[in-house]
């Protein structure tokens, strides 16, 4: 008997017809792959977007920035200290700022004090974060209002603890919804403060609270409002990146005169950025791996349906083999059908993943990358091949006589 050897195009066309014959089954069979691919793209997009957002935030601060905080943020071997919060036993005081200014030259020192308080306008009240700093914080902490949005408080206002404030964009709209906040007054703890500036939209800082809801005031005024002189963080900006290491060592020497070495941390933006990126990468890989489990589940679903399909088409397989079809042609057709099912699921998953990322990006940083699309699509095809082999082999190994007698 002469064997019939169909072309690749014939096998692909026949596979497509078989898959599209029952559209409902096809979509349901591909559902696991759709969910898996969508989840993988969404999670990798969130991780990539968050990493880019944080990198952008640190770029605006510059590579010449040092941070001084209470507690030991980093472990000796690198990475964040999990017990960081429990190790905060001190808070900085104005004298620490004075000591830095006496020793360090040609640097900008930006103390930062923050606390929660209720703010009130004529028609609105809300508890929000009050941030106290100096007149230099605006131009050097990337907080300067743009043209038309007022100004930062001046050196004179800073030194006199003037009752002035710069509002985040959202809190400005909340306090004064029907008019501009510039020049208006609001109440914090019984004191009437005048709005001199409104910040541009800045979003959250490294996934934390939204800066757009913060209110910035002179640090002396912040001390009066809070009832203490505690300072939570000190930012030091050097003239050039080359000064960072030497300045860091000098700061450590200054603070070691009054504090134990385990009670404070001095680190630069690059060190902090490296640790944050490492955590985000590890978390993204872990979550993506968990999401990829649904791809395996989807592959098992494809294999089960293909095994059912082989049973349903046993007589067809027997007839084709009886008229000379090669076992390899039977194997390839069923393998193609499995790959088409997973490829279809992968394509739909990619579309849903991109649309989902666009939606998430409206409220949280997310960015689709070509690598995540290729990875998800490639894995979906591999799933189709791996889980399609068993049903395809079963179909190709059927005896034509037994298959024709199958009912």
Q: Does the pLDDT at position 86 exceed 50?
A: no
What are the tens digits of pLDDT across the range 187-212?
Answer: 999 999 999 999 988 766 544 567 88
Q: How confident is the model at residue 397 (pLDDT cuts 50, 70, 90)?
A: low
Q: How confident is the model at residue 1 (pLDDT cuts 50, 70, 90)?
A: very low
Q: How confident is the model at residue 87 (pLDDT cuts 50, 70, 90)?
A: low
pLDDT, position 381: 79
Mean of the pLDDT values across residues 264-290? 78
Q: Does the pLDDT at position 4 exceed 60?
A: no
Q: Does the pLDDT at position 111 exceed 90?
A: yes
The span from the first CA to the last CA of the chain, in angstroms, equals 26
Q: Which is higher by pLDDT, 215 or 393?
A: 215
CA 11, chain centre distance (Å): 44
Whether 109 and 101 have beta carbons less than 8 Å apart is answered as yes
Q: Does the pLDDT at position 57 exceed 80?
A: no
pLDDT, position 3: 47
Q: How confident is the model at residue 282 (pLDDT cuts 50, 70, 90)?
A: confident
pLDDT, position 341: 82
Chain mean pLDDT for the chain: 81
Q: Does the pLDDT at position 7 exceed 70?
A: no
Q: For the full predicted model, state whether its pTM sits above 0.75.
A: no
**Tokens 């009832």 found at:** 227
Q: Does the pLDDT at position 400 exceed 70?
A: no
Q: Over pLDDT 90: what percentage of the chain?
A: 26
What are the tens digits of pLDDT across the range 336-373?
Answer: 778 888 888 888 889 998 999 898 888 777 888 888 88
pLDDT, position 8: 59
């Amino acid at each position: 008997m002469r064997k019939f050897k169909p072309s690749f195009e014939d096998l692909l066309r026949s596979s497509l017809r078989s898959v599209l014959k029952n559209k409902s089954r096809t979509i349901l069979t591909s559902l696991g792959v759709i969910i898996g691919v969508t989840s993988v793209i969404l999670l990798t997009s969130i991780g990539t977007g968050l990493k880019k957002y944080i990198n952008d935030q640190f770029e605006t601060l510059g590579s010449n920035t040092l941070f001084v905080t209470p507690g030991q943020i980093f472990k000796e071997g690198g990475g964040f200290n999990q017990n960081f919060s429990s190790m905060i036993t001190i808070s900085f005081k104005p004298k620490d700022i004075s000591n830095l200014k006496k020793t360090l030259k040609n640097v900008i020192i930006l103390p930062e004090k923050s606390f929660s308080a209720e703010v009130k306008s004529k028609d609105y009240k809300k508890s929000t974060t009050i941030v106290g700093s100096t007149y230099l914080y605006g131009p050097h902490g990337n907080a300067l209002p743009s043209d038309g949005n007022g100004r930062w408080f001046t050196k004179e206002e800073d030194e006199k603890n003037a009752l002035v404030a710069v509002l985040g964009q959202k809190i400005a709209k909340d306090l004064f919804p029907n008019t501009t906040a510039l020049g208006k007054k609001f109440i914090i703890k019984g004191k009437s403060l005048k709005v001199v500036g409104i910040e541009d939209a800045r979003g959250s800082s490294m996934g934390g609270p939204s800066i757009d809801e913060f209110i910035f005031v002179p640090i002396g005024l912040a001390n009066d409002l809070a009832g203490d002189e505690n300072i939570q963080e000190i930012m030091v900006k050097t003239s050039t990146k080359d000064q960072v290491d030497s300045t860091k060592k000098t700061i450590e020497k200054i603070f070691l005169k009054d504090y134990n070495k385990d009670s404070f941390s001095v680190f630069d933006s690059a060190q902090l950025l490296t640790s944050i990126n490492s955590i985000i990468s590890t978390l993204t890989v872990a979550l993506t791996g968990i999401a990829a489990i649904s791809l395996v589940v989807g592959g098992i679903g494809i294999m089960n349906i293909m095994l059912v399909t082989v049973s349903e088409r046993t007589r067809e397989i027997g007839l084709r083999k009886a008229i000379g079809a090669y076992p390899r042609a039977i194997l390839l057709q069923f393998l193609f059908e499995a790959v088409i099912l997973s490829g279809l699921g992968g394509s739909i998953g990619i579309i849903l993943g991109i649309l989902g990322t666009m939606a998430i990006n409206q409220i949280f940083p997310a960015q689709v990358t070509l690598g995540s699309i290729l990875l998800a699509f490639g894995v979906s095809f591999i799933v189709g091949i791996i889980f399609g082999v068993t049903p395809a082999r079963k179909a190709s190994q059927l005896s034509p006589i037994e298959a024709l007698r199958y009912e």
